[in-house]
Amino acid sequence: MQLHTVVYLIRHGATEGDDSSSSNRQMRRFRGHKDVLLSEKGKGQIEAAVKNIEQTVVDYGPPLSINKLYSSDLSRAVMSASIISRHFRIESAQVAAFRERNFGSWEGLSLEEIQNLYTEDLKNWKQDPSNFAPTGGESTAEVAKRVLPAFDGILAENAGKVIAIAAHGNVNRIIICHTLGIDFKHMFRIEQDYACINRLEFNGNKTIVRFINYC
């Protein structure tokens, strides 16, 4: 019998010191491996995400019983998972492989600052997002080499269960591309807003992405 496995893939909420309140994406900062905390706004966003998970279960099933909850080991994801775990009364496990991409010399900078300081690097990244890495950082391909084995292992361990993962924008995009068989060069066509949820379903050889970037 084929087992139906459901994965809720969640991005962490907004972080302290972030300019996410601005509509100008040029001002949002590349956090990467920098260990920043959720802001009060971010905590509220994750509380809303919990309600969104419950609503989507009403809309799509199955009866909600999150069996396993995982997160990146960075504080913003751990704090997001803590809010989710309190609501659903389930412990969470940290997975270092789900850390956000290491942006190296770009970490802590806004896109506007990167454009001014690393103009040629940013151009190269846009031309080859799969293989280019900032100085001291990781490429998409390198991040995928640590994220996907961890994800596939969790799927294998939890066949037939409902899983939630609190992670990061780039990690989520890589998992979604992998699930859909999409080349990583297209990953930035997939939006991942703060505290969004994505629902992936696995039933034998059949895979369904029920929704992406639900907020």
The domain limits of the chain are 4-21+40-102+140-214
pLDDT at 35 over 90: yes
What is the reported pLDDT for 149?
98
Residue 202 CA: distances (Å) to CA of 17, 22, 146, 163: 38, 37, 21, 11
Omega before 62 within 30 of 0, i.e. cis: yes
> Which of 116, 115, 111, 109 lies closest to 136 in space, CA to CA?
109
pLDDT at 102 over 90: yes
Confidence of residue 3 (pLDDT cuts 50, 70, 90): confident
Fold of 4-21+40-102+140-214: Rossmann fold (3.40.50)
pLDDT at 23 over 90: no
What is the reported pLDDT for 25?
56
> Which of 104, 66, 88, 95 lies closest to 167 in space, CA to CA?
95
What is the reported pLDDT for 77?
98
What is the reported pLDDT for 22?
45
pLDDT at 20 over 50: no
What is the reported pLDDT for 21?
47
What is the reported pLDDT for 27?
62
Query: Mean pLDDT, to the nearest integer, of 105-125?
Result: 92
Average pLDDT over the chain, rounded to an integer: 92
Burial class (CB in 10 A: 0-12, 13-18, 19+), 146: middle
> What pTM did the predictor assign?
0.93
